[in-house]
Structure 1
């Protein structure tokens, strides 16, 4: 079947219930889509039967599907590869989620992907501020101890 015909079938399946996958996986993947909806994520899942020549082809498929759903998040899975698109999440968050989605089991992969998307990010700004304050305090403390040590040495020399 030509690629355009395949994409047309994928789009029809995704439009129906958010999932384009082999029949055996559809019910479980629908559950992941429903869970994502409860978390405020419009998730679409596409399962590809075999690995493409390059993993970036899956991101291309996700982008094509995402074109029809610009505010959604699209996950495309093959046996060993994962691709994604999102109008909601930054690429760094998607890449981290993709790393957790490479399990070989499409349902577990989709669930891991969703779990990573919904897990809170580290508060980098707060951690950076705390680290900078700690370094500044250590610098001031070190300088204070240096001056105190120098004064003690001067007093000891004067006493001798």
Structure 2
């Protein structure tokens, strides 16, 4: 009895754990090749409402409109690149989940590798400092006679505290 219940629960979890695609049946194209191209394109396009979801995964009305627009353009005979260019001209490059590599996006593409390099350099310098004993050069300089005399005076006056 418990085993059957566990199997049923596991089956339910597996069914509900699949990603929910928002593509409605009325949006699906009859031509499987065009539908595959539409799914590929819509997986790389950002939902302007959800912002971190593709239009393929979003239930927002604007995402539905974009999915329909992509399919209309493909049926009209546009290539994948023409569809992307059309959407970028209307909505800007923000509509792309993966921005294009260009001069105005160079910092965006370079930020990750630069942060990684800076982190590695910081780790290297910290390890090198630790191997040296962690003390700076100034800490190893002995006190002068005048400094030792002042220190003794401070310690004597602090003994009463």
TM over 0.5: no
Higher strand share: 1
Q: TM-score, normalised by structure 1?
A: 0.30
Q: TM-score, normalised by structure 2?
A: 0.30
Asked which structure has the greater CA Rg, the reply is 2
